Amino acid sequence: MAIQQLTDEQVKTWTRQQKDQWWFENIYRGDMAQLTMRSGLTGFFLGGILSSTAMYIGAKTGISIGVNLISVILAFAIFRSLENAGICKHFTILENNCSQSIATSAGYMTMPLVAALPAYMMISDTIPAWWQMVIWIQIIAILGVLLAFPFKRRFINDEQLPFPEGNACGVVLDNLYSGGAASGANKAKLLTRVAALAAVLQLLMSDGWMKLIQFKILMMDKWAGLAEPWFLKERLDTYYYLGAVKLDLWIPKILGIDFRTLGLRLTLDLALTGVGAMMGLRIATSCLIGALFNFAVLGPLMIQAGEIAPRVGLDGKVVPLSRIEILNQWSLWWAIVMMVVASIISVFAKPEVFQRIFNLFQAKKETTAPAHQDVLRHIEVPLWISFIGVPIFSLLGVWTTHHFFQVPLLLAFLSLALVYLLTIICINSIALTSWVPTSGLAKITQFSIGSLDRSNPASNLIPAGMSAEVASSAAVLLSDIKPGYMLGARPRHQAIGHLIGIFAGTLACVPIFFLLFLPADAEGIRHTARIVSDQFAFPAAMQWKGVAELIAHGFSNLSHSAIVSIVVATVIAIAFELASIFTKGRFPLSAISIGLGVVLPPESVLAMWIGAFFFWLMERRHRHAPKDSAGYQTWVEGAQSIAAGLLAGSALIGIGNAFINVLM
């Protein structure tokens, strides 16, 4: 059924009270179940699971994946199965929307854990207590929610802004529960079947799971004489190298440097294949170009020139050349400069966002109805909550930033002005484009605060992390409320659901962060040096750490060739972003993605590109087929469900495998 909406003329000419009255009489479903025990619990547990997978992918790729559509389809699939089995009654469309709102909120709680916080830990060699991280993340996320409340009535009720991602969720939900229910069931089946297949394959490639199954369950070390567990090698080229040693075969090299030293490997990783399908061919190709240019061209040249060389570590041992050494000694600087410059240009290239911010401060002519005439006063979130809550949670954010991370109080207070401004920018941006430019905007905070205190990296890292989390929490809340507004949901229930998601995400992700990335050694000590590994590159954290080091030391510690590479990268980033602006997004390359491809392991980039290329090929092959054909339903309508299944199935098994390796 088509969702009822006001016409453009009505949006322009009606007062907000008229629009509220129309919505209340025609759209609002006050008698329909929404925030129930089952929808709350479903969203809480889905949010915990999906936020864990989002953190896993973020640690691998630096990319924040949206879990809203995934959670919509999963919640629908779960309760449709339970209904068919006669276990529960009908799960309403508003209950489903509430579950996705909780899960989406939880998914965004991973941002500090894959960017600002690990960067702070690596650069300061300090590990905050887990409870401090939980409290800090929850305080700043709630501050974002409180900042968003006053904007809801203007941006959603009055101006009826599109919020494209939220609008898409509303349309999908409407299709699932009306004429498109069969299509929705098909997407749910695709997601669950692909996830199951991906999970099985990932299980076979997991040393921890195989050790558990073969040694602890089947006892194969007792009766079969098995000394080491059998599992498929995730790095497929390992089989070639094993054979090459035995048969004296050719070992691929560039300028005499082994492919393996350069990080040029072939890996089967279905989670990254799914990420590639979601990011699209343009972004994936840009990442691949960055990775190949750096590790197949620049890296070997710099090693040959002596700019990158083995070094002596703090323990007195020689640290051999590797992908991480190539990145840290030389490549990181031009890569992060390219990403930062391109991110900032992309923010300021959207004048409509800044025009809307200017308009916020202009009085709008409309008749303000007395409180007793406000038809939505009993279901909207009262504004007094924000008026009281924002100052309280701002002070709590400043206090925890100072006491937990040793940021000077004055700088923590000064950063609040930037936090509020960047939140307004992000809300406007997501309202118009579905894009939340937290990466580029956080760098503004980082450079601004860093210019006042160059000696303490925490002074710019933590306030920048705070601004990013506050802004994303506020923006995502309004994007979450949009589908509820379209479908007639109660705003207060959605706001409560968003808060539930904040708690679900942090309670799930912070303990997992410590288990996955900061496992204790035999003496019970955790080391920050173990955060970044071949499996988890933490590209977002490496970018934040690199910016903090540039702020602290400038270019004094960089070689002449590294400085030249930074200048060239800056020029290329400006040129590419301007080309993208002038061609209205049709320019084939992305400067941000080229820089990201340098920070990521090349094998991960190749896995993402394969996924993007395969899904692009299948979509081109089937997009003109009849809409009821299997090919169209699978590779056009169901592409996102397949990608989500690959990601979810592989990531969940991967998280479990890491747990087993830590605990066994």
Instruction: Considering only residues 182 and 188, tell me which one the structure prediction assigns the higher pLDDT.
Output: 188
- For residue 292, is pLDDT > 90? yes
In the chain, how long is the greatest CA-to-CA distance? 87
- For residue 547, is pLDDT > 90? no
The closest of 94, 61, 99, 63 to 78, measured between CA atoms, is 99
The amino acid at 650? S
**pLDDT recorded at residue 115:** 86
- For residue 368, is pLDDT > 60? no
pLDDT tens digits, 318-367: 888 888 889 888 998 898 888 878 877 876 666 555 555 555 555 444 44
| Selection from 186-190, 244-248, 287-291 with the highest mean pLDDT | 287-291
**pLDDT recorded at residue 564:** 93
Work out the mean pLDDT of the chain and round it to a whole number.
84
- The phi, psi pair for 261, rounded to 5°, reads -65, -35
pLDDT tens digits, 71-81: 777 778 777 77
- For residue 390, is pLDDT > 50? yes
- For residue 264, is pLDDT > 60? yes
| DSSP structure string for 561-596 | HHHHHHHHHHHHHHHHHHHHHHTTT--S--HHHHHH
- For residue 596, is pLDDT > 90? no
- For residue 231, is pLDDT > 60? yes
Helix and strand counts by DSSP (H, E) for the chain = 31, 4
Confidence tier at 441 by pLDDT (50, 70, 90): low
Percent above pLDDT 70 for the chain: 91
Instruction: Considering only residues 540 and 252, tell me which one the structure prediction assigns the higher pLDDT.
Output: 252
**pLDDT recorded at residue 363:** 47
**pLDDT recorded at residue 2:** 58
Determine the average pLDDT of the residues in 69-96: 78
**pLDDT recorded at residue 358:** 55
Place of tokens 């006001």: 6
**pLDDT recorded at residue 372:** 53
385-418 as b/e: b if 16+ CB within 10 A: ebeebbeebbebbbebbbebbebbeebbbebbeb
Determine the average pLDDT of the residues in 173-187: 68
Determine the average pLDDT of the residues in 369-395: 81
Confidence tier at 259 by pLDDT (50, 70, 90): very high
**pLDDT recorded at residue 485:** 87
Instruction: Considering only residues 613 and 328, tell me which one the structure prediction assigns the higher pLDDT.
Output: 613
DSSP state of 29: -
Determine the average pLDDT of the residues in 472-489: 85
The closest of 83, 86, 60 to 605, measured between CA atoms, is 60
Instruction: Considering only residues 327 and 171, tell me which one the structure prediction assigns the higher pLDDT.
Output: 327
Instruction: Considering only residues 283 and 315, tell me which one the structure prediction assigns the higher pLDDT.
Output: 283
| Selection from 459-473, 615-629, 636-650 with the highest mean pLDDT | 615-629
The closest of 462, 511, 604 to 62, measured between CA atoms, is 604
Among the listed ranges 289-298, 310-319, 358-367, which one has the minimum average pLDDT value? 358-367
pLDDT tens digits, 621-645: 998 898 888 888 889 888 878 888 8
Instruction: Considering only residues 464 and 176, tell me which one the structure prediction assigns the higher pLDDT.
Output: 464
Long-range contacts of 129-134 (CB under 8 A, 24+ apart): 130/510, 130/511, 130/514, 132/400, 132/404, 133/506, 133/510, 133/513, 134/506, 134/507, 134/510
C-alpha–C-alpha distance, residues 307 and 563, integer Å? 12
3-class secondary structure, 311? strand
Vertex 263: Cα angle to 261 and 268 (nearest 5): 135
**Which two structure tokens, joined as six digits, stand for 39?**
């929808």
Tallying the residues shown for the chain, one arrives at 664
**pLDDT recorded at residue 450:** 81
Q: What is the pTM of this model?
A: 0.80
Angle, helix 93-107 to helix 491-517, in steps of 10 degrees: 40
- For residue 50, is pLDDT > 50? yes
The closest of 406, 475, 466 to 138, measured between CA atoms, is 466
| DSSP structure string for 436-486 | --HHHHHHHHHHHHHTT-SS-THHHHHHHHHHHHHHHHHHHHHHHHHHHHH
Among the listed ranges 118-122, 145-149, 347-351, 574-578, which one has the minimum average pLDDT value? 347-351
Confidence tier at 616 by pLDDT (50, 70, 90): very high
C-alpha–C-alpha distance, residues 362 and 65, integer Å? 36
- For residue 60, is pLDDT > 90? no
C-alpha–C-alpha distance, residues 566 and 335, integer Å? 8
Residues 81 and 471: beta-carbon distance below 8 Å: no
- For residue 297, is pLDDT > 70? yes
Residue 454 C-beta-side C-alpha neighbours within 13 Å: 7
Confidence tier at 394 by pLDDT (50, 70, 90): very high
DSSP state of 258: E
Instruction: Considering only residues 633 and 661, tell me which one the structure prediction assigns the higher pLDDT.
Output: 633
Residues 458 and 405: beta-carbon distance below 8 Å: yes
Percent above pLDDT 90 for the chain: 22
- For residue 522, is pLDDT > 90? no
